[in-house]
Every structure is written in C-alpha cells, then in structure tokens.
Structure 1
C-alpha cells in the first residue's frame, strides 16, 4: 500500500501495482519494480548450491549458534556469523559435491579457555558421558558452563545443551540421549560460555559416536 504525499495531486511513497514511489529530499520519483532474475551464471548457480548446503546444515542449530557465535567472526556475530564461517572454513567441495566437514565445523568461537583433555564414552545404551580435566582450572573460570551439540546429520536431528550444561569445575557431564537419535551416528561438539554470558570458547569436535 502506498502513502500519498501533499494530497491527491502530489507524489506517493510505496508500491502501487508495478511501480514504486520514492521520496528523496522532497522530490518524488517513480520507479518500475525490479524484475526477478531467471538466468544465472554458472558461478552464481554454484554459489547458490554452496549456500544451500551450509543453510541446510545450520538450520537445526540456530538457537545454539546465536549463543556460540555471539560477537564472534563478524561485527554482528550470531547465526549470520556462523553461516559466513562455515562457508569459508567448513564447506568442502570435491567430485562428490558440496558438504560440511565435521572436523572443521564449530558451534562456538571466542577467547574463553577450551576444555582440557576432553573425552567421551557411552557407559551404557542411551547414555553419553563427557569428561574433561579440571586440575588447572582457575577460580575465575570454574563457573563457565558447557555447551553441547549431538548432531545426527543424516536425519537433521539434534540434541543440545546451551545454558543447562555442567560447569567447568564439574569435570564431567552425563547426558541421557533422546530416543530419536539413539543408535544413530552422532557428531559431538562442546564449548564453554562464560558465567556472565559475555564470551565463549572455540568449540571442540569430539568425534563420532553411536549411543
């Protein structure tokens, strides 16, 4: 809907049919609507495929990435920063096509201390135990909280912990894996977020596991 300026004989601002009214310094201009492109170059089509691959991988992780990439990698941080990071660093292209290399992927980035000597094991069906060393943890870092991603990439199914993980001082976290991702191959990532939520660590990829 357009807005009339200076009455019915004046100009207008907004869209009317196939034209758009624009007001610049009290001058009124009318422009045709831009035509939607239907033809793209080979490079443009290839870039569209790359972006689609990244977007499909990251869409299930939006809430986690908003925290993990807060004020990181780009000026705005958040999900857009994650998309930019993955396109430049985690996207692999070869004869098989485009895909995300899990070892190059991140769920968070920043200057906070990473987990020391992290490991994971499934002590029983449906359970995942993540451990890390707390020997040299300073008092200023002990309240950092663990973020976790369990990602069944094949089925785009996830389980996350963002603000409900263990503290750095705990040295371990036991997770009851949701039924929908049990007996599936999971990529596992961890990272820490500061107690005051002001910063994050670079995440760490723990590898693949079936729980």
Structure 2
C-alpha cells in the first residue's frame, strides 16, 4: 500500500484499472489488485499461433530474393514479395487439436502462376539423389516440348522451399526425369513434394547465377588499343645526369702555369 499524492482533483475512492483507491483518517491510499505473475502465462492457442507464424517466416526465408523475383516477376503493391509469400502460405493452414502447421502437400502454386495445364511432378529420394519426374500429357507440354521448367520442391519435414531448374526439357509425351544431389535439400527420410513452374525458355537454366535471368548477356567487344596509347612499363623515376667532378690532382694541374 502506498500513499497517493494529492493532485488537482484530490484522491479517489474505488477501482481504477488495476488500482484501488481508499481514504482513511484524512489520508488517501491506493493498492494494486492481485494478478497472476507466472512466467509465460500465454494460453495454448496463443503459443500455437506464435509457433505457426515462426514456421511461416522460416519457410519464406528459405527462398532467396532472386527466387522470389522469379516467382513474383511484378512487385506486389503495398507489401514486399516475401510478405506476399507468407500471406499465400498462411492460407494453407492445417489445424488439428493443439497443433497448427502449413500443409505443404497441398501447395500447388505460388504467385499467379497457373498449374492446371502443367503435368504433376513426383519428387522422391533415390539413395543420395533427389529424383524429380513427370509423365502426364497436357496441352502446355504438347505446345512447348522444348521448354525447360523450374520445379518448386518443398521439404515438409524440415519446412523448407527450393527452386530447382530442370536439366531436361518438357517433351510432348513420355516420362521425363532428372536427378540432383540430395544433401543440399534434405535427408533420406525427409518427405518431399513439388510442382512445376514454366520459364518459356528453350534451354536449361542450370549453371545460371539466378533463375530470373532469361538471356545470358553478351560480352562487350574488346577495344583495340592504339600503339600510341599503349602505356610503357614503369621503369622508375628519370635518372638526372650528373657531371663528374674533377679530381683534386686535375685542379692543381690546371692552376699551375
């Protein structure tokens, strides 16, 4: 209990927020109401929501800025590309009982890329490799057999996303597959899923520094150097010629008659 300092309106009686004021023997007093002081007193639902948001952020941070530019070519209005990714992933909430997570198995598109005309992708672990394949015949595949797609691979176990450029073209029909090393994308027991994104490019993007590059820039032609403009190699400061001083014997011989 502490003494209340008199203000313009004086003391008070009754409850104001978490403080109770009282008056006794010409003195105003106040005391705080009892409240729970246990550490981490958040409800289970609040903790579940915090864990879900942390998962969304972890997923979004697994893609680089270059990956996001490929998925979202046009910058969204009012938010960054990464925030838009978080917003889209949040729509895949799978809530059951005391857990809430992102259902990556139901992830079929990102950005505004349609996938209805694209073949379904199978992602499987084959020893030390990650095998990616497709087989279904679709209209887009029939019309663009020489395109090299990009596969968005989701590691549901580690909650990570990857963009992997295909080393083989779509082809109009038949099963197509390629493999990449497993180590950068997860472990043998992890669960993977994926879907296809088109690039409309007739060559593989494997080896490019960024997936957003659609054409390798040409090197500028080398400039011809004129012989006059060529710089001579540096040979140090110019040497100042010095006259040899006559010896003392020479001076005496000159002074003799």
TM bucket normalised to smaller: 0.5 to 0.7
What CA distance in whole angstroms lies between the structure 1 residues aligned with 2:97 and 2:198?
Answer: 38
Q: What is the match of residue 180 of structure 2?
A: 176
CA RMSD of aligned residues (A): 4.2
CA contact (8 A) 1:119 1:131 kept: yes
Quick one: structure 1 residues 52 and 146, their matched pair in 2 at CA, closer, same or farther if it must change by over 3 Å? same
Q: What is the match of residue 163 of structure 2?
A: 160
Q: Which structure 1 segments of 5+ residues have no match?
A: 1-39, 199-211
> Across the two proteins, how many residue pairs are aligned to each other?
158
User: Displacement of 1:101 after TM fit?
Assistant: 0.8
User: Displacement of 1:158 after TM fit?
Assistant: 5.9
CA contact (8 A) 2:132 2:179 kept: yes
Q: 2:87 matched to 1:84?
A: yes
Quick one: structure 1 residues 50 and 113, their matched pair in 2 at CA, closer, same or farther if it must change by over 3 Å? closer
User: Displacement of 1:78 after TM fit?
Assistant: 2.6
User: Displacement of 1:95 after TM fit?
Assistant: 1.7
Q: 2:100 matched to 1:104?
A: no
* Counterpart mapping for 1:98-137 below 5 A: 98-106=100-108, 108-112=110-114, 114=116, 116-120=118-122, 125=127, 126-134=129-137, 136-137=139-140
What CA distance in whole angstroms lies between the structure 1 residues aligned with 2:194 and 2:86?
Answer: 17
Q: Which has the larger radius of gyration?
A: 2
TM-score for both structures, normalised by structure 2? 0.45
Q: What is the match of residue 190 of structure 1?
A: 195
Quick one: structure 1 residues 73 and 114, their matched pair in 2 at CA, closer, same or farther if it must change by over 3 Å? farther
CA contact (8 A) 1:114 1:191 kept: no
2:62 counterpart SS class: helix
Q: Which structure 2 segments of 5+ residues have no match?
A: 1-40, 202-210, 213-257
Give 1:53's match in structure 2, choosing from 55, 61, 64: 55
